[in-house]
Amino acid sequence: MKIELVNIHKRYGAVVANEGVNLTIAAGEIRGLLGENGAGKTTLMRILSGYTFADAGRILLDGVEHHPSSPADAIRAGVGMLHQDPMDVPQLSVLDNFGLGQSGGLYRRRRPMLASLEHLCQRFGFKLDPEAVVGSLTVGERQQLELARLLALGARTIILDEPTTGISAPQKALLFDALKHLAQEGLSVVFVSHKLDEVQSLCDSVTVLRKGRNVGELEAPFDADGLVHLMFGQQLPAGARPVVPIDGGALEVRQLSVRDHRLSLDGVDLHVRRGEVLGLAGLEGSGQQLLMQAIAGIVRPRAGSILLGTEDLAGRPYGAFRDRGVALVPAARLEEGMIPGLSLREHFALCHHCGHGLVLDWPAADSLTREQIAAFHIVGQPLTAVDKLSGGNQQRALLALLPAELTVLLLEHPTRGLDVSSAQWIWSNLLARRERGTALIFTSTDLDELLQYSDRIMVFSGGRVSAPVDAPTVTVQELGYLIGGRGL
Ligand SMILES: Nc1ncnc2c1ncn2[C@@H]1O[C@H](COP(=O)(O)OP(=O)(O)O)[C@@H](O)[C@H]1O
Ligand SMILES: [Mg+2]
């Protein structure tokens, strides 16, 4: 089925998710949709499949304008979407889930439904027990079931949103074979991904989204350098690095294992020197945050050492890290960094322990706050509530609240969402700390920022970590490959 998306616009409040996107997919084509986190891929596909609506733009299916009013409406028109997280009903059996959305209700027409399921499974080599409870299936099996269900409902376009996260290699091979088969039969497939090798092995063509826009399309065989270039943009010349003596160890991490409910990092080794800037690259959620939280003492590692000087702090409480000069500036400034509703003055009073015991010395807090407002160029008054500050001023305030001397300063996305001049100011402040010997470790999804400010860069991909690479010599291509999961 031919799909045409014309000039699609979609905003969420101030966030522009899609901005004038045009996309045409021919019948029988497997189209890759590539882009970094937040590029607008899922939003665009949700619009096409009836899960949300565009603010403006047109959708044509086989040349006929049709704006799906719901997922059921989209599937009636032939468009079905497999979501990143399974949307099935885990308590029901495979067969009952397969029947969802089919006319005739849950318990009627079991026999034809069974025949149809078995036929589809046979066709694609899926091994699904019709009576098994869906909650007991693997992610890969649930995906097979969902694909079979959409096909039984008459889908002629299949959209898959990052379908290979959490499935096994054999399941992935089976899925890719099934998609190639379907394309040969004239179905259209949209394969949303950020993994270059998968797009290269599966897709006939690829569209790259960046910041909500279609920034380019390529036909197979893909020039991988071209893909990386489209995804991440041009490389700026590396910034002039201040000459800072990098000497002595600030932090050493040995064989660290740490996990949260989604992800585990294992056997991480890392040595950061005084005055060094280490950039952590990778798509969000690849393990960078977890490592930073472990180094800051917020998340307790399962194994390994975190050495500050000669002292191993692994397993010690957060306060032990703080007392030795380790601080983390979180990405969620208002949720984790500051207290909404409290003023700047209250924040400075709390952080700098103005006064004695429970009695706060407000005049002292006031003069400290005024000094810091001036020193950090914060646009605000001592009594301004922090949630009333702009993003750039919140970030300045967070830096102003940190102790003046730190051993290791960890920052999540220090300039995300800031305008260029605020971002420059933040970096000049950070680099001044670095000159005083503080080791800086920061995450960013902006490759230019990573290359410009880091001495070394480590790349994270799905919980795997690269050895640090030297920022002055690495190319944007090499980084792009590592971020896309190659060579790790
Ligand atoms: N339901 C929503 N509410 C608010 N913002 C959203 C919503 N869905 C997506 N966004 C925002 O829109 C942008 C694009 O998101 P998304 O389409 O999920 O990107 P991708 O799938 O490429 O990672 C992001 O900035 C995201 O935070
Ligand atoms: Mg997405």
Asked if pLDDT for residue 210 goes beyond 50, the answer is: yes
Atom nearest to 36 CA in ligand 1: 22
Span 143-154, average pLDDT? 94
Percent of the chain with pLDDT over 70: 94
**Which of left, alpha, beta for 417 (phi over 0: left; psi -120 to 50: alpha)?**
left
Q: Where are the domains of the chain?
A: 3-232, 247-483
Helix (H) or strand (E) holding 19: strand 15-25
The reported pTM is: 0.61
Asked if pLDDT for residue 236 goes beyond 70, the answer is: no
Closest ligand relative to 37 C-alpha: 1
Contact 273, 250 (CB under 8 A): yes
Asked if pLDDT for residue 105 goes beyond 80, the answer is: no
The pLDDT mean for the chain works out to: 88
Cα(29) to ligand 1 centroid in Å equals: 26
* Ligand 1, CB cutoff 6 Å, lining residues: 12, 15, 17, 35, 37-43
Superfamily of domain 3-232: P-loop containing nucleotide triphosphate hydrolases (3.40.50.300)
Span 461-481, average pLDDT? 85
Neighbours of 476 (CB within 10 A): 20
Contact 193, 176 (CB under 8 A): no
Residue identifier of the C-alpha nearest atom 1 of ligand 1: 12
pLDDT by residue (tens digit) across 399-444? 999 998 999 999 999 988 777 777 888 898 899 899 889 999 999 9
Q: What is the pLDDT of residue 377?
A: 86
User: CA-CA-CA-CA torsion for 243, 245, 250, 255, nearest 10 degrees?
Assistant: 80
Instruction: Name the more confident of 45 and 310.
Output: 45
| Interatomic CA distance for residues 140 and 161, integer angstroms | 13
Which among 15, 51, 192, 195 is the best mutation to test ligand 1's pocket, defined by most ligand atoms within 8 Å of the CB? 15
Instruction: Name the more confident of 364 and 25.
Output: 25
| Interatomic CA distance for residues 426 and 95, integer angstroms | 57
Cα(39) to ligand 1 centroid in Å equals: 8
Confidence of residue 241 (pLDDT cuts 50, 70, 90): low
Residue identifier of the C-alpha nearest atom 5 of ligand 1: 12
The yes-or-no answer to whether 3-232 and 247-483 have a common fold is yes
Cα(365) to ligand 2 centroid in Å equals: 45
247-483 belongs to CATH 3.40.50.1000: no
